[in-house]
Structure 1
Amino acid sequence: MPSRPEILAPAGDHASLTAALASGADAVYFGLDDGFNARARAVNFATDDLADIVAAVHRAGARAYVTLNTLVFEAELPVLEGLLRKIAASGVDALIVQDPAVCLLARAVCPQLELHASTQMTVSSPEAARFAKGLGVSRVVVPRELSTDEIAAFARGTDVELEVFVHGALCMSWSGQC
């Protein structure tokens, strides 16, 4: 367990990546231009630039997380497998995922990568965290809609690391279920 919370910042483009690192973020998360992420309004990064981006993040002493937090169709799995191999080769520290099938494919293709369950996976209880852990998930991003009391109860009931949004928009529905 970290002695202090990890400060994780979004990096939707080069300017926000630079700002996050200059401001002391411990880690950054970002999507790629492949369409397998829920960061559609972000510029996102070119997959071909990923190794250079990860190297820059690591030089700054931070960690790099790639979002693959959408549902994936069966026909897309071969494309995703190739992308996972590129991501793993780039030195990315973790994947932020939604789809259980992506977890299983990532475990098979790049078992060294940490898996973080996106808020889109809607893991909101210790029981759901046990399910996610069975898929290889080591961290759960809790839904923004949980109260601090609910998060505390969740934390007492699981050994999976929890991540909490402390700033940002709330979904008009339930996170990831629009």
Structure 2
Amino acid sequence: MRPFHRAASAAAAVLLLAGGPTGCSMLDDAGSSGGAADGGTPSVDAAGDPIVKATLGAPPQEPSAEVEIAVMGLRVRGRLATLTVQMTPRLPAGGPDETSPYKLNGNDGIDPALIDPVNLKRYVVVEDSGGAELATDDITTDLDNGKAGTLQFTFAAPPENVKAVDLQFGSWPTFRNIPVER
């Protein structure tokens, strides 16, 4: 192996170990609420009872379709907050067996946003170093008819003095007073 290739291979190995090209962040984990990095147990925030749940109309293309949206939680870990939502499509008989969040929102992006009523700020989904959103892809995610599918979205965490936020989620009405779990 030529010296240049050895140096390039070594640099790539260092970057992979540091989380460089993967989009991983070296954020300070102060205030973490647990997890594998600090000896906690890894988990997915989809279990348990929802904070709020609503059955709403689906897109105009499917006037008899509905979608159940359940906000499962907004959990802060370090300087990030992860929103977990379950969507259950209720499609008419004889129609498709699956759909996507994008289709349920009238062929438009979900574009979730947290509204901070204390500091009058709007939080949008954060992106990694490559420009990819840290979120479930609402176009390519398949949701089976009648079955809950879990979606996750990562935001900058609201400050400690913010105990609850409002959630704008697709074209549906705003979900109010979603507690911020720390």
Q: TM-score range by the shorter chain?
A: under 0.3
Which is helix-richer, 1 or 2? 1
Higher relative contact order (CA 8 A, sep 6+): 2
**TM-score, normalized by length of structure 1?**
0.25
Which is strand-richer, 1 or 2? 2
